[in-house]
Structure 1
Amino acid sequence: MSIIERAAGKLEKEGKIGPKVPPQIPPGTSVNSGQKHPGANHSAGEEISQSFSPNPVPPSTSTSKRITLNLAKMRQYGIVTPDQGRTQVAEQFRVIKRPLLTNAFNQGAGMIKNGNLIMVTSALAGEGKSFCTVNLAMSIAMEMDRRVLLVDADVARPTVPKILGLGTERGLMDILLDENLDLADVLIKTNIEKLTLLTAGTRHSHSTELLASQSMGALLKELAQRYADRVVIFDSPPLLLTSEARVLASQMGQIVVVVEAETTSQQAVKEMLRQIESCDVVNLIYNKARSFSGGEYYGYYYHESA
């Protein structure tokens, strides 16, 4: 029985199943879509609602957690939020997400396996991948008919918790290590209705092997195929610095590569693209771009740790 099925079993008994970065950041970004293949998968991941053990067994202390994100602080980091209105950063991420969503839910002849599993990565650290990952997830969470699960898969150097103000939580590594741990036990629901989080969890010396394991493959399959309205976004480690990123890339339907303008070398970009050439859809975000129009400067910066 899969992780999600075990969690769903709990909820059926209870009748509770149901969907139910620095401070001044000028807006703007440039996008270069390097899409190699049209189409997408039709399925996506879903969070499991809060669950308790049925009577007469005492209530379980392991439940799906719910947190309130500090939207004002997130805006200071340059993160788009639902209450913010139209900004240039928000508009740029609307442009970025649209082809990704088209690929994820197209059921035509060119559909991509696991197209709703989207990995965001970069060649090296400090290029803004986590900033872009969170903004992409937030933007998708504003869709009328889509939900998003944001997975922090940067297991060696997780940054998403810093951006969102999370503490140390059980997460992805713990699910892969403990077969008795349900997905419902580690998913974090938020005050943004369509956004659910899964942290990296406990650090482990064999994280690469865990991400390449059959358990990880089964988890990804469930996330991709069980729920038709969900997008699962993974904040991945940098491709040229870790082996975990290459393992994850081999299992993704789409990959978004963040390239820092005027900093990342062509050689690094070429090597990075070579390592993910097995993925049919690769999109590029040209981050921290500078352009002049009518004498005005625009571009955006991300939090230094992102």
Structure 2
Amino acid sequence: MHTPDTHEHEHERGALLAEPEHGHDPRRYVDINLARLHQMGMVTHDGGRTSAAEDFRIIKRPLLRNALHAASGTANRNLIVVTSALPGEGKTYCAINLAMSIAMEKDHTVLLVDADVARPSVLKVLGLGAAPGLMDILLSEKLGVADVILKTNIDTLSLLPAGRNNKHATELLASQTMSALLVEISNRYPDRIVIFDSPPLLLTTEASVLAAQMGQVVMVIEAEATTQGTVKEALRRLDHCPHISLICNKARSFPGGDYYGYYD
């Protein structure tokens, strides 16, 4: 199963607002087409024991242990940012699949945040239209998370879109408003794991600013494509991060098969 970067292909865009289920606010409810995601090779609740589903079961376990280990002393330890050194390595694919896999857990809910504010793609990959989100909260004193968070047809999964683009994105992500927002997101629900899809580390300054405020960082590396020097340079920008994990993506371990290696 090939796992292209999500920027490389256009996907069918679904309607932002679906008919509400009982108890859902139609302004903040989206219906994800899970059958479509399964056809794309993504992890879904009813997709069976695919190779991707099994790989992300392995990947998520140490991340969950770190997120729930109070003795670690790490702030925001349930906030996990997924990034890469360069575009095209599959970080958005991994962020969505990781969120989908954790959403299958019985004891956790997941908030998936599109923090790649210059090139947001989470909603596009999920077949959804653009919506207000993270940048809008940071730019307005009147908006809060509850005003823009999107509930989905997966009860344990919610979405926070990137929102409008802004030329001062780095400064906004480094602001006190952002720090306070992350504390609120981290502490509001004790069972919540928050996954951030971040910009590439070597392409923008936003990625390292965002990573500095996370409890855990997952860096996606494209096998047989990303050089060792590129990986080292990207890791240098994460020196301040307490928990860094690497996913080796698109690596073939046997003819005709794909393997997603995990290194903690």
Q: TM-score range by the shorter chain?
A: 0.7 to 0.9
* Distance in 1 separating the partners of 2:2 and 2:217: 26
**Deviation (angstroms), 1:230:** 0.4
Answer whether contact 1:64 1:186 (CA < 8 A) is retained: no
Map of 2:90 onto structure 1: 128
Map of 1:240 onto structure 2: 202
Unaligned runs of 5+ in 1: 1-24, 28-48, 52-62, 302-306
TM-score by length of 1: 0.76
Rg (Cα) greater in structure: 1
* Distance in 1 separating the partners of 2:64 and 2:245: 12
2:55 is matched with which residue: 52, 76, 92? 92
Quick check: 263-272 or 68-77, which moved more?
Answer: 68-77
**TM-superposition CA deviations, 1:72-110 (whole Å, max 9, x none):** 1111222110011211110100000000000000123x3
The letter for the 2-side match of 1:227 is: Y
Superposition map of 1:137-176 within 5 A: 137-176=99-138
Map of 1:8 onto structure 2: none
* Distance in 2 separating the partners of 1:162 and 1:300: 25
The letter for the 1-side match of 2:247 is: I
2:231 is matched with which residue: 250, 266, 269? 269
**TM-superposition CA deviations, 1:33-71 (whole Å, max 9, x none):** xxxxxxxxxxxxxxxx967xxxxxxxxxxx761111001
**Deviation (angstroms), 1:132:** 0.3
Superposition map of 1:291-306 within 5 A: 291-292=253-254, 296-299=255-258
Within the alignment, does 1:69 sit opposite 2:37 as a pair? no
Report sequence identity in percent: 60
The letter for the 1-side match of 2:93 is: F
* Distance in 2 separating the partners of 1:95 and 1:163: 23
Superposition map of 1:217-232 within 5 A: 217-232=179-194
Within the alignment, does 1:104 sit opposite 2:67 as a pair? yes
Quick check: 263-272 or 176-185, which moved more?
Answer: 176-185
Q: Which has the higher contact order (CA 8 A, sep 6+)?
A: 1
RMSD of aligned Cα (Å): 1.7
Secondary structure in 1 aligned to 2:81?
Answer: strand
Secondary structure in 1 aligned to 2:136?
Answer: helix
**Deviation (angstroms), 1:300:** 6.2
**TM-superposition CA deviations, 1:181-202 (whole Å, max 9, x none):** 1221100000001000000001
CA shift in 2, pair 1:175/1:66, >3 Å: same
CA shift in 2, pair 1:26/1:173, >3 Å: closer
The letter for the 1-side match of 2:211 is: A
Count of aligned residue pairs for this structure pair: 241
